[in-house]
Every structure is written in structure tokens, then in C-alpha cells.
């Protein structure tokens, strides 16, 4: 596994989750101040042969210490909404609030248990532990290519196959569940939908299908990345 050393400054924030664990969540490549006013620098190693666009760990063997996952709900808190080049599309997404984004993030939360089930490596657990890796997906950027509330009825599968609903960038935080130490970070971009035809007015159900396909790619990549560490 090839790699090179990378120094990143992380903005540190803590979230009290329902299971009672304080987890490091916020990520920024640019230098920022931590909670106590001092920049916190994490020395990570960029892994060059990852299937993610970007993947880095605190050490090449960092994932060997873990065999279970404590999953945290996907976050859109720091999402950057990029301009699409179409004023109508941009206005429709500018009005989106936390509850609107919940429809997109909760979709991944519902899917995750299937990819990390009890019969697979790295099953999901509900408590922190010495061999438990805390994981959270974050929506980082979205460039929409479709109105948020489409006017069309449910599309056929054939039409869904060739449409492009936008481009999404996600960040995945990997954190030690007991120490809150950053173990690794992944970043990946993908087009929502599998084609090049822009559907300016497409149904929400069709859009969500495109997001589901993107989530399937990312969950499989994460599972394969973790399993390759064993």
C-alpha cells in the first residue's frame, strides 16, 4: 500500500449523540481554530491506492485495531451549496432547510445497517469500545442540476438511468470511539444519476433514487476499505 505523509489542520467540534459519546465531527482542510482557540494539527498519511478520491490514516495499520463500527447519522450541517448556473434551480435549493436535507441524509442512515450487518466484518454496534471505530458521513458540497421540487410524475427506470441530478462531495470521518482521536478521513465526489441528460424538473422520488445509488457506491467503498485492512 503506497502512501505519503500529509499534514492537515482540523476544526474540532463535539456532538453529544444519543448513545452518549462525544465524537469529533467537523472537518476542514484549511487551518482553523479549535474550541480552545489553538489550531489542532493531525498528521495523516495519504493512502494512494484507495478507491476513494482521497483517503488518509494516522498510520498505514491504523484500521487493524478495529473490528466494529459505531455509526453516527449523516450530517448536512456544513454543506456548501454550489451554484448550478441556472437561477431557477439555485433559488429552489436555497430555500431548503434542515428538514428538507433530512430526506437525503436519512436515506443513507437507513441503508447503512445492510452494509455493516452482524454477519459481516465490521458489524454495527451501539456502544463505544476499544475495538470500535466511530464513523460519520458528511455532505460537504452539492451542485444541483435539477429543481428541488420537481413537477414531473414518477419517472420510468429508463429515464432515471440517463439523468444527472447534480454533483455531490462527501467526507467520511473515522474516529476512535473511546479516545476521540481522528483515525482517518475519506473524501469522494460523484454525480447523482448515471447519465448526462439534465432533468430540470424531475420527481423527488427519482432524485432520491439517484442519491441512493450514490450512497450504495460510498457504503461499498467504505466496507471494502475496512475489510482490506484485516
pLDDT in tens, the chain (230 residues): 444 544 343 333 332 232 222 233 333 333 233 333 344 455 789 998 899 999 999 999 999 999 999 999 999 999 999 999 899 999 999 989 988 999 999 999 999 999 999 998 999 999 999 999 999 999 999 999 888 876 444 444 444 445 788 999 999 999 999 999 999 999 999 988 765 555 666 777 888 888 999 999 999 999 999 999 87
Neighbours of 105 (CB within 10 A): 21
pLDDT of 48 reads 87
Phi, psi at 37, each rounded to 5°: 90, -5
Question: Which H helix or E strand runs over 183?
Answer: strand 182-192
Beta strands in 48-92 (DSSP E): 54-57, 68-75, 80-81
Helices (H), the chain: 87-94, 98-115, 157-161, 204-227
Facing residues of 159 across strands? Answer: none
Could you give all domains of the chain from N- to C-terminal order, each with its CATH number?
Answer: 61-227 (3.30.160)
Amino acid at each position: 500500500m503506497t502512501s505519503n505523509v500529509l499534514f492537515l489542520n482540523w476544526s474540532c467540534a463535539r456532538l453529544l449523540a444519543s448513545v452518549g459519546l462525544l465524537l469529533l465531527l467537523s472537518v476542514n482542510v484549511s487551518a482553523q481554530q479549535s474550541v480552545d482557540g489553538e489550531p489542532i494539527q493531525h498528521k495523516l498519511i495519504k493512502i494512494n491506492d484507495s478507491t476513494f478520491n482521497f483517503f488518509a490514516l494516522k498510520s498505514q495499520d491504523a484500521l487493524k485495531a478495529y473490528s466494529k463500527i459505531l455509526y453516527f447519522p449523516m450530517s448536512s450541517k456544513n454543506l456548501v451549496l454550489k451554484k448550478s448556473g441556472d437561477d431557477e434551480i439555485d433559488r429552489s435549493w436555497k430555500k431548503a432547510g434542515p428538514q428538507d436535507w433530512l430526506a437525503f441524509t436519512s436515506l443513507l442512515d437507513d441503508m447503512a445497517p445492510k452494509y455493516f450487518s452482524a454477519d459481516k466484518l465490521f458489524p454495527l454496534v451501539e456502544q463505544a469500545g476499544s475495538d470500535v471505530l466511530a464513523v460519520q458521513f458528511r455532505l460537504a458540497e452539492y451542485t444541483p442540476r435539477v429543481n428541488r421540487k420537481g413537477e414531473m410524475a414518477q419517472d420510468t427506470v429508463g429515464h432515471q438511468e440517463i439523468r444527472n441530478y447534480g454533483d455531490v462531495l462527501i467526507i467520511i470521518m473515522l474516529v476512535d470511539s473511546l479516545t476521540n482521536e481522528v483515525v482517518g478521513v475519506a473524501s469522494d465526489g460523484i454525480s447523482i444519476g448515471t447519465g448526462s441528460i439534465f432533468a430540470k424538473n424531475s420527481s423527488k422520488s427519482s432524485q432520491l433514487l439517484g442519491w441512493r445509488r450514490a450512497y450504495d457506491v460510498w457504503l461499498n467503498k467504505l466496507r471494502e476499505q475496512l475489510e482490506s485492512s484485516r
